[in-house]
């Protein structure tokens, strides 16, 4: 079974690596902005990662897997 999203066919069960770039520092966290691919809308948008984990990383990747 497939879903047609913005002229791209995506299987229902899939795994995707989403790339993010540094956006701004907050008191205890760092905000990262999603880097969209091929004109597709963002999957997650912006995310916050705690500073104790992110450190000074300018780019991060998040793997997301969809399940039924």
Six token digits for residue 38: 């091929």
**Is residue 5 left, alpha or beta, with left meaning phi > 0 and alpha meaning psi from -120 to 50?**
beta
Query: Does residue 64 register a pLDDT over 80?
Result: yes
Residue 4 to residues 9, 38, 40: CA-CA distances in angstroms? Answer: 5, 15, 12
More reliable by pLDDT, 44 or 2: 44
Q: How confident is the model over 11-61, as pLDDT tens digits? A: 566 899 999 999 999 999 999 999 998 889 999 999 999 999 999 999 999
Residue 58 backbone dihedrals phi, psi, to 5 degrees: -90, -25
Would you kindly state where each structural domain of the chain is located, as residue ranges?
A: 11-65
Instruction: Report the pLDDT value the prediction gives residue 35, as an integer from 0 to 100.
Output: 96
């Amino acid at each position: 079974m497939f879903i047609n999203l913005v002229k791209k066919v995506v299987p229902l069960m899939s795994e995707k690596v989403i790339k993010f770039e540094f956006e701004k520092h907050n008191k205890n966290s760092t905000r990262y902005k999603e880097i969209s691919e091929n004109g597709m809308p963002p999957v997650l948008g912006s995310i916050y990662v705690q500073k104790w984990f992110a450190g000074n990383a300018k780019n991060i990747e998040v793997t997301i897997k969809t399940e039924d």
